[in-house]
Structure 1
């Protein structure tokens, strides 16, 4: 492969994704007021907005999420692991893929308004999918009773309501990390023409 065929834009985008994955692992821990405050949502939006090849928008962020999950499931959250991941993981990944799609659909052009809108919408979509998954698993404990949520509409609604504080943190983290990722990459594109999409 010649030097001319190398794509610096792709490698820089991939570097942003990897950094987000590493930050997520280092920020993991017990439930705190900052639970769900991680760069994964911004990572999904960033991948969805910038990768020219749509399959890369999903594969690289999802692979980074998966590797991080494997590491955390075997270390920090080993008590909750079922195999190499955790019960209900499919819903988390569907929610994450939906965030990538949100980035593709809303951030057609990187502007403050589109990034803010995508950050909020992505958090809500993720909450709806991931908390539905929580409701279906064995770890679906109602914090007010200490018992599993009932398998009916009322139980699902209670599960969603109890997840609302985490939605706020997801929105905040999406906004903060998106501002950093999108702002930094836009600045880099302005300074380094090779990072822009070829015309």
Structure 2
């Protein structure tokens, strides 16, 4: 007989990630196709996963999995016409998300407002630079040199502003809710054992 240990902290963290990721879908499906492009919960999920999962596998896997599942829904429905460019662009986005989780592992060892704001700014910068490689690379709209990449980055500024807004708003919801839950239910506090 197997003795599986129930870990309420991991379950709550995972449920919170899934719920906040669902907002990415709700916002996208209930707006003009690209009006809220990049106003996403994914940056907040990367920060949250990196900050609260002490196990590296969970810290990286859950945010990446939530991005994959929401991408799967979006690219088989309203973004169907973008599937051709999906692979090239999204590989860079997934790399950016992994780097964001890594940043939060280092900068959010202690969660407070200052470390959260610093982490948010760093991950938005990472998202801007890394994910836009996918938008620029082999794209006929941009010259394939440094100037073309800079042009791509400049055109991405409105999207990155929305990414920053989404990360701040969804991050406040995720981090605030979990800190309130931890205060109310001590079982959610990190124990000495590894999650």
Match of 1:182 among 154, 172, 175: 175
Give CA deviations for 1:131-167 in whole Å, capped at 9, x if unaligned: 1111014xx4xxxxxx610111111110011111111
Question: Where does structure 1 differ by over 6 angstroms across 4 or more consecutive aligned residues?
Answer: none
Aligned counterpart, 2:97 = 96
Whether 2:116 is the aligned partner of 1:123: answer: no
| CA positional deviation for 1:121 | 0.8
Alignment of 1:2-13 (within 5 A): 5-13=5-13
DSSP 3-state at the match of 1:197: coil
Tell me, yes or no, if the aligned pair for 1:81 and 1:87 is still in contact at 8 Å. no
DSSP 3-state at the match of 1:76: coil
| CA positional deviation for 1:103 | 1.1
| CA positional deviation for 1:87 | 3.5
Aligned counterpart, 1:65 = 67
| CA positional deviation for 1:35 | 2.6
Aligned counterpart, 1:31 = 34
DSSP 3-state at the match of 1:87: helix
Name the CA distance, whole Å, in 2 between partners of 1:20 and 1:118: 19
- CA distance 1:89–1:35, shift in 2 (3 Å): closer
| CA positional deviation for 1:196 | 0.6
Match of 1:164 among 157, 174, 177: 157
Q: Could you tell me the TM-score, scaled by structure 2's length? A: 0.90
Name the CA distance, whole Å, in 2 between partners of 1:163 and 1:15: 31
Alignment of 1:112-151 (within 5 A): 112-137=113-138, 140=139, 148-151=141-144
Tell me, yes or no, if the aligned pair for 1:80 and 1:86 is still in contact at 8 Å. no
Aligned counterpart, 1:20 = 20
Give unpaired runs (5+ residues) of structure 1: 141-146
Name the CA distance, whole Å, in 2 between partners of 1:116 and 1:51: 19
Aligned counterpart, 1:48 = 50
Tell me, yes or no, if the aligned pair for 2:20 and 2:174 is still in contact at 8 Å. no
Q: Could you tell me the TM-score, scaled by structure 1's length? A: 0.89
Aligned counterpart, 2:186 = 193
Name the CA distance, whole Å, in 2 between partners of 1:43 and 1:166: 18
RMSD: 1.7
